[in-house]
């Protein structure tokens, strides 16, 4: 029996990429449409590359209650969402549903945790899962049935997303997926306002973990060089906090989001409403009543 291929999209990650990847695009009345256009394009390329049986998008709805409780400064350094992007969230979610894609979000739970919980459960249920996101945290769940799709570089001119399996994760970070939480705990993650151990960079963290296998072993080993032992001893509490912040919560309800029905006629009307003529031209008319199949 062939495994079902799922595409899981990190919604805010892709939305910000679409917004900043295309600028100065708006409707004739001035309403911004750059993120909407980039979103549709990106999903089209992802689905053409992966050819999934089902696609789901996971959006943040507020912040992680648990992480805020244990670390009030979690993601505190991030700038507010630009108004031009905020205006496009609702249309982006509308076109996503019209394209037959399921949407998941839940107040108090971070989208990363919802997505990861769903991915791990589905990978146990005869599915292969591709996660579209540039977020390093997902490296910790990559395995035989779960891969990650990294977006092409903005200046690369490429549209192909880079498929990262466990071997690719190890090649990129110097440690296997099972050590990603400890690796990021040592080096920190500026994107989430998580600081690592001063003076410990990626190469040092990877070398320590390859030799000692875990932060637990590092903290309990009495045979470490003096400078290394002092550095760890002075930051033990920080490392434990980082582990809790970085580890994805895989205990969340992993019920599949409801899949929407693809509505080609409404997709066309949506493109007309937002004056996306190039996308309208890619809609191929089929059927007696002029139904449309959108080539994305």
CATH number at 4-170+249-294: 3.40.50.1010
- CA pair distance 86, 77, nearest whole angstrom: 19
Q: Quick one: pLDDT at residue 155?
A: 54
Helix (H) or strand (E) holding 103: strand 102-104
- What tens-digit pLDDT sequence spans the chain (296 residues)? 578 999 999 999 999 999 999 988 999 999 999 999 999 999 999 999 999 999 999 998 767 778 878 877 777 777 889 999 999 999 999 999 999 999 999 888 899 999 999 999 999 988 999 999 999 999 999 999 999 999 987 655 567 899 999 999 999 999 999 999 999 999 999 888 899 999 899 999 999 999 999 999 998 887 878 888 888 888 999 999 999 999 999 999 878 788 878 888 899 999 999 999 888 887 655 444 444 444 45
pTM: predicted TM-score of the whole model, two decimal places: 0.92
Q: Quick one: pLDDT at residue 296?
A: 53
Class of domain 177-246: mainly alpha
Nearest to 59 by CA among 30, 26, 88, 20: 88
DSSP string across 155-191:
TT---PPEEE-HHHHHHHHSS-GGGHHHHHHHHEEGG
pLDDT at 284: 53
Domain definitions of the chain by residue range: 4-170+249-294, 177-246
**Helix, coil or strand: residue 285:** strand
């Amino acid at each position: 029996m062939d495994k079902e291929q799922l595409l899981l999209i990190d919604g805010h990650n892709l939305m910000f990429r679409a917004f900043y990847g295309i600028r100065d695009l708006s409707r004739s009345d001035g309403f911004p449409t750059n993120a909407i256009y980039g979103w549709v394009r990106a999903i089209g390329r992802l689905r053409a590359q992966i050819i999934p049986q089902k696609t789901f998008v996971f959006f943040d709805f507020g912040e992680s209650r648990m992480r805020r409780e244990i670390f009030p400064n979690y993601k505190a350094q991030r700038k507010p969402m630009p108004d031009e992007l905020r205006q496009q969230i609702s249309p982006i979610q509308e076109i996503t549903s019209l394209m037959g894609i399921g949407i998941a979000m839940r107040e108090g739970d971070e989208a990363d945790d919802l997505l990861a919980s769903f991915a791990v459960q589905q990978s146990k249920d005869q599915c292969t899962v591709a996660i579209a996101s540039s977020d390093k945290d997902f490296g910790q769940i990559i395995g035989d049935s779960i891969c990650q799709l990294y977006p092409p570089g903005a200046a690369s001119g490429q549209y192909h997303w880079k498929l990262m399996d466990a071997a690719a994760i190890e090649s990129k970070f110097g440690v296997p997926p099972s050590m990603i939480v400890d690796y990021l705990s040592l080096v920190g993650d500026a994107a989430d306002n998580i600081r690592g151990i001063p003076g410990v960079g990626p190469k040092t963290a990877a070398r320590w973990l390859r030799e000692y296998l875990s932060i637990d072993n590092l903290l309990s080993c009495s045979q470490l060089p003096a400078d290394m032992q002092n550095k760890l001893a002075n930051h033990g509490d920080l490392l434990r906090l980082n582990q809790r912040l970085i580890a994805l919560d895989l205990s969340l309800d992993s019920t599949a989001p409801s899949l929407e029905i693809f509505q080609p006629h409404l997709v066309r009307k949506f493109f007309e409403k937002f004056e996306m003529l190039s996308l309208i031209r890619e809609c191929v008319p089929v059927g007696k009543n002029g139904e449309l199949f959108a080539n994305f």
